[in-house]
Structure 1
Amino acid sequence: MASSETANTRQVPVMMCRYFSAVLAAALLLVVATGIPPAVAQGAGNWSTDLDLKPPPGSAATPQESPATGPGRAGQRPAAGGAGTTVVKKKTNEPPLQEGMARLTLVALLTADGQRIEQDLVWRIFEESREPRTAGKLIGTHKIASPVLTLPPGTYTINAAFGRANLTRKITVAAGVEATEPFVLNAGGLRVRLAAAASGMESMKAFFDILSDERDQSGERRIIFSHAKPDTVIRLNSGIYHVVSTLGDANATVESDVTVESGKLTEATISHKAGRVTLKLVTRQGGEALPDTEWSVLTEEGTSVKTSVGALPTHILAPGKYVAVAKSQGRVFRRAFEIANGETIQVEVMRQ
């Protein structure tokens, strides 16, 4: 009897295993019959989210509009994520226009073909002036590419500046109107380079001034940009400009007219002719330079070229003939000298 009970007990697990196997097989047949697809990895391209990911610590802050002019334009670049990170811009919409107000979107174009300027812009908005030839009150400054302004109806003077290139327009807006105003700056770039011969002689002390092509009633040109460094791109409105390049701090200058075209970079190479001179007041030939000496460099005609104070002043001069004048302890000493292009000389003035 005990033997029979033991046999029955051993058969229970076997029957249960057969039962669950049958259930599992039936479930699999049901899956196949109903066409339920197996699970697959979903591509990131099919995801949708409205999350606005914050930039990592230390990243540059996004420029903000001033409260007086309304919300900024959507489409600013999101913060860059790391490898495998998907940055999604938050979907935003402009709020409803306030009753009695106007909305104006400003866009700057490099040329008339529609190439937009996306950085380094400064917008200034002025109220209408009641006095001719004078600017009204400044009511807003924006340093983003395309500001969106909410303004009361009226006439405004708006200036768009891109480097030294700029455009000023008068714009009238009406209540309830939403408009986009393009500003075609017709801007180009100018880069001045030094020729190899000049670049080896105090090139760090070289600079150039950009002046207008036209002259005023006094015959003077208007200064557009002063003390620009070589190899620097200066943004300008298209047109003709007069460039004055100076090597050193004296009279080694070169002047030239250049033409800047819209949407193009104009490169001008300047070739200077100059020499370097060091002045020295001594009591004997080859002696030690005397300190606290006042110096003047004059042309042969007596025109002052450069003044300085010290024991060993050094200047870059245009090739030619000069007179070195040294003043020490109430006495004046002179010596004529000549310098050629590319020459480096030392002029000793004897104190006798």
Structure 2
Amino acid sequence: MLRRTVWLAVAAALLPGLARAQSPFGPGLGPALPSITEPGLPAPSIGGEEAALALSAVLGGTDRKLASGLAWRVYEDRSDGTKPTIVARSNEAEPSLRLPAGAYVVTVTYGFASASRKIVMSGQPQSERLKVNAGALKLSGAIGDTRIPPAQIAFSVFVPIGTNSEGRLVRSGVKAGELLRLPEGTYHVVSTYGESNAIQRADLKVENGRVTDATLNHRAATVTLKLVASAGAEAFAGTAFSVLTPGGDTIREAIGAFPQVTLAEGDYVLIARHDGQVYTREFKVESGLDRDVEVLAKS
């Protein structure tokens, strides 16, 4: 079950975060960067009188300036097929850069979103405002009405490609409550609770100037594994546990007196190995019911 709330918040809601100097999306995804080696462009003519280039960025669909989290790069606009050269850079919200007369490409990144523009400096002061089409994802997890602690859950965000929902990874290890700035589009989110098989998935849409706040609902519980001589007795230390599906697939292995394992709701087989002996039992995981699972050490 997915509870999804979209907050109609504009740029002020997009909190500062890590700005990326390059889009991870590759060709065809995210704003296109104009080719700076495109045939037919005029040959670069950098030189002559310098002038100030004032830069600013606004969020797509709004007139409000972005005040933080920006990374600016200015490249010499070349047509000879050589590697482009960065001639200026800044992480200020509204930088003013002095550039000689010539042709350039200006790029700005905001999280995973970016924008770019070709410009020509002619020795006169100039100002450029770029529009960044971006929104944000804010993710959390829950079991029923109980929020999962942020330290126990992580998210991976993908761009679907064709019929493959996990076509291209945007970012893994996204934390609950973190604001992830993204270009407008649809994303596939994988939520992992714990380190085993408690996984939920959802397709979420990011819109310009808005925060998509989504909670992914898990059906899972945490069980504490124990090997004991009798019910309620002290657990044997150094026991090796294996959690299997009824079909025999291994879900998780752990060693200790009472390791904890988070599992999706369902039926399981527990194998405990201690001092050369092997003990088994079947058990059931019910969503939201954390409990001890004891294996009796009987010959």
Q: State the TM-score, normalizing by the size of structure 2.
A: 0.72
Structure 2 unaligned regions, length at least 5: 1-46
Superposed CA deviations along residues 125-168 of structure 1, whole A, max 9, x for unmatched, are 44557897x9745454422111112224455444322223223x
- Return the alpha-carbon distance in structure 2 between the equivalents of residues 128 and 304 of structure 1: 56
Structure 1 unaligned regions, length at least 5: 1-97
- Return the alpha-carbon distance in structure 2 between the equivalents of residues 283 and 207 of structure 1: 37
Counterpart residue identity of residue 286, structure 2: A
- Return the alpha-carbon distance in structure 1 between the equivalents of residues 256 and 76 of structure 2: 55
Superposed CA deviations along residues 260-307 of structure 1, whole A, max 9, x for unmatched, are 111112222222111121111223433322222333222222223223
Equivalent residue of 2:53, what SS? strand
Equivalence for 1:176: 123
Superposed CA deviations along residues 80-118 of structure 1, whole A, max 9, x for unmatched, are xxxxxxxxxxxxxxxxxx943353222111014432111
Correspondence 1:47-196 to 2 at 5 A: 99-127=48-76, 136-167=84-115, 169=116, 171-195=118-142
Equivalence for 2:183: 237
Question: Contact 1:198/1:273 (CA < 8 Å) preserved in 2?
Answer: no
- Return the alpha-carbon distance in structure 2 between the equivalents of residues 313 and 246 of structure 1: 19
- Return the alpha-carbon distance in structure 2 between the equivalents of residues 127 and 266 of structure 1: 37
Question: Contact 2:244/2:251 (CA < 8 Å) preserved in 1?
Answer: yes
Equivalence for 1:44: none
Task: Please identify the structure whose Cα radius of gyration is greater.
Answer: 1
Question: Contact 1:323/1:337 (CA < 8 Å) preserved in 2?
Answer: yes
Equivalence for 1:32: none
Q: 1:201 to 1:113 in 2, by over 3 A?
A: closer
Q: State the TM-score, normalizing by the size of structure 1.
A: 0.62
Q: 1:166 to 1:287 in 2, by over 3 A?
A: same
Determine which structure has the larger strand proportion and give its number.
2
Q: Relative contact order (C-alpha < 8 Å, sep 6+): which is higher?
A: 2
- Return the alpha-carbon distance in structure 1 between the equivalents of residues 231 and 142 of structure 2: 37
Question: Contact 1:122/1:142 (CA < 8 Å) preserved in 2?
Answer: yes
Equivalence for 1:41: none
Question: Contact 1:130/1:136 (CA < 8 Å) preserved in 2?
Answer: no
- Return the alpha-carbon distance in structure 1 between the equivalents of residues 83 and 289 of structure 2: 53
Number of residue pairs the alignment of both structures matches: 252
Q: 1:286 to 1:172 in 2, by over 3 A?
A: same
Q: 1:188 to 1:201 in 2, by over 3 A?
A: closer
